[in-house]
A = this chain, B = another copy of it.
Amino acid sequence: MKLYGYFRSSATYRVRIALNLKGVAYVNEFVHLRRDEHQTATYREVNPQGFIPALEDDDGEVMNQSLAIIEYIDETCPFPPLLPNHPADRARVRALAQIVASDIHPLDNLRVLRFLRNELARDEVTVARWYNHWMAEGFKTIEAMLANDDRTGRFCHGDQPGLADICLIPQVVNAATYELDLSPYPTIQRIFGTCMGLDAFYKAHPQRQPDSE
């Protein structure tokens, strides 16, 4: 497996955790986001969207979009499973993941912050307000879904880490960017602490990547 990614990209971070949890060895192919290496013609041949991450499997097949990649990893390396067995429980875990992947992260990623700064001429105070607003909205929902459901265990769903934790933890790391106050989210904080005690999450952290600056 070859993973095209960047240490700071939280969508890449998700895939790193998934590969670690499965014990799948992979080769890093670094794509420097802030130097716009993702927008080169070479990289667009790998992924026409010019986004990271992309995963190339051992047959040379390239996949994009982190959640699609993680479901692929889960289907091709089933143990340990990243989703529970029961369809309604799977829907719960996928919904938690989707809140991060659809309702928080796309609003706060680099291309959108750049558009706010450059195209809409917004200053850094406004960008910070924007960033934390969408993160707080998403975390409020996730906290409510976790705190009020007895399916929450040591992790987002039960006592094994899975897809929801894989998406949540990189977003909590991102919360430091504009110093979002995490005190309203005690369950999220507790699960973050538990996950960071696991090698799969700890070793996937941006600051522990070879391309980290």
Contact = CB atoms under 8 A, between A and B. Distances in A.
Interface in A50-67: 51, 57, 59, 61, 63-65, 67
Interface in A82-139: 87-88, 90-92, 94-95, 97-99, 101-103, 105-107, 112, 115, 119-120, 122, 126, 129-130, 133
A101 B102 contact: yes
B57 A71 contact: no
Interface in A33-83: 48-49, 51, 57, 59, 61, 63-65, 67-69, 71-72, 75-76
A63 B93 CA distance: 10
Contacts of A105: 102
Given A49-B141, A75-B87, A148-B48, A115 B133 contact: yes
Contacts of A107: 106-107, 112
Interface of chain A: mostly helix, strand, loop or mixed: helix
Contact of A61 (B59, B61, B88): B88
B72 A90 contact: yes
A71 to B, nearest CB: 6
A144 interface: yes
Copies of this chain, tallied across the complex: 2
A1 interface: no
A175 interface: no
A72 B89 CA distance: 9
A10 to B, nearest CB: 13
A57 B90 CA distance: 14
A208 to B, nearest CB: 26
A167 to B, nearest CB: 11
Nearest 9 pairs of A and B residues by beta carbon: A68-B94, A65-B95, A48-B144, A72-B91, A68-B95, A49-B141, A65-B98, A63-B91, A75-B87
Given A65-B95, A71-B90, A115-B133, 7 more contacts: A49-B99, A67-B102, A68-B95, A68-B98, A72-B90, A106-B106, A107-B107
